[in-house]
């Protein structure tokens, strides 16, 4: 399940992604009007696993779990916050990056999933700035190395104290024989537009760049003398806040703890159910429609708070995805199912669309967008099974469009009195939930037919039965009850017989047809190469850089280029 080489410090047998500020070990949140401060104060003895210390504000997955939780709470619980200051609570060190001892001792799947989750967390900061007017400023008060500088790169403005010693660096190549795996290379050249030759120098020196050169090379935005730092921070925060369009009230919606019940073979939430077949290496994720109609007003929506069905179902699905992704490496195939009243799913979609300018509906919609993106970049085979009694409507239909294949039953099974399966589109299928490369899933699906999504948008409200859905290109296969069981069995047996490494490469290449964005490059290019490099002996072998780091011995490299 989780990392076999190390024991979780919590004593649990799985990594838990649920937390709240009262349980934070590594971050402190404070809010002053429309400015919040996220202070990094890593407990060096508070690592996720036993056997290493998180010195110098270095981090592991546990630190990032808290950061991800804090970022989500800032959007929902503090809708009035326009600027977030990212700072260190430690003197003369901002963040030393990912903990090397943790990386050196972790299994390969943990390293890759750690980088992936960290990337998703960094991306959520940029998403908040772009779509919610919640902007981030980093105040670098000392060493910002590797992942520490990558954290700063995810913010919109980087201030660096001008004390003669503070520097930024990406030393992974010279020190560890790996890459800055949480977007560093991409953000340096794509976001900050650092010249290629300057970036080459910067990424191949251990000591990094400081002072005026860091500003000249666009690695940071400004230098500030120590004596003027606090005044300048306040001035810059006020300047950015004045330009923000964020207009939420001082009080938001509290993200109450999720209700979960763990079983030996799965997890039960109120609206999501996970069933794991360990022998077949398959997990079935079922999302259930709401029990009641949507509220009649935005006031009712806010009153429901964390129990508002679109938000609650998204949070439950997100938690289940992270649990499976990080605690069940051998479960290689995920089946998405839905159940319940399609009309209610449609009604909630229409409610969210009608009130999309309200801060809470806006944030809920963008939360669903991020959950669906997390599904897109998950290295598992994704299958949608659309049967009688399902509700693949609007937002939930995106689960089918995110899947590698989708199977839809024509009619009903003998003795099954549930209504026949149908797919129905809503306005939210046409722009609310873009993928990492900027296209909707329907646009990516019909890349050869660019006019097809517009044609389908005219069909909003139509209930596509299986044969119609297959003709329209919305599902892979529509199958009758005679072929259903055999086709599903053959597919599952075939899929589980393939190499998981080959499937990961196959699926990731096929899912993101079309253009590239900075975000898609981070996952498709950087993460893929980091995944490969993390397995190379030059990095993780007994004489590799990660293994010998801190020993005083030089790594031994196989010098053949490939």
The pLDDT tens digits of the residues spanning 168-185 come to: 999 999 999 998 888 899
CB-CB contact of 470 with 478 (8 Å): yes
Of the chain, the percentage scoring pLDDT greater than 70 comes to: 99
Of the chain, the percentage scoring pLDDT greater than 90 comes to: 88
Please give the average per-residue pLDDT across 461-476, as a whole number.
97
Strands 423-424 and 463-464: antiparallel
* Burial classification of residue 358, based on how many CB atoms lie within 10 Å of its CB (0-12 exposed, 13-18 middle, 19 or more buried): middle
Q: Name the nearest CA neighbour of 134 among 125, 123, 143.
A: 125
At residue 208, does pLDDT exceed 80? yes
Partnered with residue 139 across adjacent β-strands are: 159
* pLDDT (tens digit per residue) in 76-85: 999 999 999 9
Tokens describing residue 102 = 């943790």
d(CA 137, CA 347): 39
Q: How far is CA 319 from the centre of its chain?
A: 11
d(CA 454, CA 430): 9
d(CA 165, CA 158): 16
- In this predicted structure, what is the pLDDT of residue 505? 86
CB-CB contact of 15 with 327 (8 Å): yes
* pLDDT (tens digit per residue) in 99-119: 999 988 899 899 989 999 999
Where are the domain boundaries for CATH 3.90.226.10 in the chain? 26-241, 261-511
The residue length of the chain stands at 562
CATH architecture of the region 261-511: Alpha-Beta Complex (3.90)
Dihedral of the alpha carbons of 77, 79, 82, 85, in degrees to the nearest 10: 0
d(CA 316, CA 299): 23
At residue 2, does pLDDT exceed 50? no
- In this predicted structure, what is the pLDDT of residue 342? 97
For residue 6, name the pLDDT band (cuts at 50, 70, 90).
low
* pLDDT (tens digit per residue) in 477-510: 999 999 999 999 999 999 989 999 899 889 988 9
Give the DSSP letter of residue 214: H
Please give the average per-residue pLDDT across 226-251, as a whole number.
96
Give the DSSP letter of residue 59: B
Q: Where are the beta strands (DSSP E) in 347-495?
A: 381-386, 392-393, 405-409, 423-424, 463-464, 477-479
* Burial classification of residue 551, based on how many CB atoms lie within 10 Å of its CB (0-12 exposed, 13-18 middle, 19 or more buried): exposed
Tokens 């449609």 locate to 346
At residue 528, does pLDDT exceed 80? no
CB-CB contact of 29 with 20 (8 Å): no
pTM: 0.96
- In this predicted structure, what is the pLDDT of residue 1? 36
- In this predicted structure, what is the pLDDT of residue 415? 83
Per mean pLDDT, which range of 62-66, 108-112, 188-192, 222-226 is the poorest? 108-112
If you average pLDDT over every residue of the chain, what do you get? 95
* Burial classification of residue 205, based on how many CB atoms lie within 10 Å of its CB (0-12 exposed, 13-18 middle, 19 or more buried): middle
Query: Is the Cα torsion angle 243, 248, 252, 257 positive or negative in sign?
Result: negative
Please give the average per-residue pLDDT across 322-341, as a whole number.
97
CA Rg value for the chain? 24
At residue 468, does pLDDT exceed 60? yes
CATH architecture of the region 26-241: Alpha-Beta Complex (3.90)
d(CA 147, CA 46): 18
For residue 464, name the pLDDT band (cuts at 50, 70, 90).
very high
Q: Where are the beta strands (DSSP E) in 41-88?
A: 83-88
At residue 4, does pLDDT exceed 80? no
At residue 12, does pLDDT exceed 90? no
């Amino acid at each position: 399940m989780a990392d076999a080489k190390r024991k979780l410090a919590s004593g649990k047998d799985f990594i838990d992604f649920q937390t709240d500020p009262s349980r934070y070990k590594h971050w402190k949140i404070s809010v002053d009007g429309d400015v919040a401060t996220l202070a990094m104060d890593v407990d060096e003895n508070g690592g996720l696993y036993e056997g290493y210390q998180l010195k110098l504000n270095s981090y592991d997955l546990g630190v990032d779990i808290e950061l991800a939780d804090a970022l989500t709470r800032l959007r929902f619980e503090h809708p009035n916050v326009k600027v977030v200051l990212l700072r260190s609570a430690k003197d003369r060190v901002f963040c030393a990056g990912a903990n090397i001892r943790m990386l050196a001792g972790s299994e390969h799947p943990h390293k890759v999933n750690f980088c992936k989750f960290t990337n998703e967390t960094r991306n959520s900061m940029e998403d908040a700035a772009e779509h919610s007017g919640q902007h981030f400023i980093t105040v670098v008060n000392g060493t910002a190395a590797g992942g520490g500088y990558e954290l700063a790169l995810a913010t919109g403005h980087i201030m660096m104290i001008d004390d003669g010693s503070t520097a930024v660096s990406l030393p992974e190549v010279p020190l560890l024989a790996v890459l800055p795996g949480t977007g560093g290379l991409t953000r340096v050249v794509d976001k900050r537009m650092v010249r290629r030759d300057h970036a080459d120098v910067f990424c191949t020196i251990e000591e990094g760049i400081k002072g005026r050169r860091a500003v000249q090379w666009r690695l940071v935005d400004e230098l500030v003398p120590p004596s003027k730092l606090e005044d300048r921070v306040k001035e810059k925060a006020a300047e950015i806040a004045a330009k923000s369009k964020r207009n939420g009230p001082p009080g938001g919606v509290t993200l109450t703890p999720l209700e979960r019940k763990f079983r030996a073979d799965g997890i039960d939430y109120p609206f999501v159910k996970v069933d794991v077949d360990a022998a077949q290496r398959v997990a079935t994720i079922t999302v259930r429609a709401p029990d009641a109609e949507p509220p009649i007003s935005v006031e009712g929506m806010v009153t429901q708070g964390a129990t508002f069905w679109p938000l609650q179902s998204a949070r439950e699905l997100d938690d289940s995805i992270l649990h499976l992704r990080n605690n069940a490496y051998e479960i290689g195939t995920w089946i998405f199912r839905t159940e319940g009243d399609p009309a209610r799913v449609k009604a909630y979609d229409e409610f969210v669309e009608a009130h999309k300018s309200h801060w809470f509906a806006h944030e809920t919609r963008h939360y669903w967008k991020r959950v669906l993106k997390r599904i897109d970049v998950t290295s598992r085979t994704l299958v949608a099974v659309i049967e009688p009694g399902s509700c693949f409507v609007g937002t939930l239909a995106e689960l089918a469009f995110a899947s590698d294949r989708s199977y839809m039953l024509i009619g009903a099974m003998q003795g099954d009195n549930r209504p026949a399966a149908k797919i129905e589109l809503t306005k939210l299928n046409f722009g609310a939930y873009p993928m990492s490369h900027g296209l909707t899933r329907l646009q990516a699906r019909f890349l050869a037919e660019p006019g097809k999504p517009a044609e389908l948008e005219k069909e909003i409200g139509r209930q596509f039965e299986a044969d119609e859905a297959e003709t329209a290109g919305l599902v892979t296969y529509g199958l009758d009850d005679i072929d259903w069981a055999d086709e599903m069995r053959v597919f599952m047996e075939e899929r589980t017989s393939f190499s998981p490494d080959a499937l990961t490469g196959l699926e990731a290449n096929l899912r993101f047809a079309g253009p590239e964005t900075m975000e898609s490059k981070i996952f498709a290019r950087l993460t893929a190469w980091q995944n490969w490099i993390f397995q190379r002996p030059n990095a993780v072998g007994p004489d590799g850089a990660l293994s010998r780091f801190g020993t005083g011995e030089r790594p031994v490299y196989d010098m053949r280029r490939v």
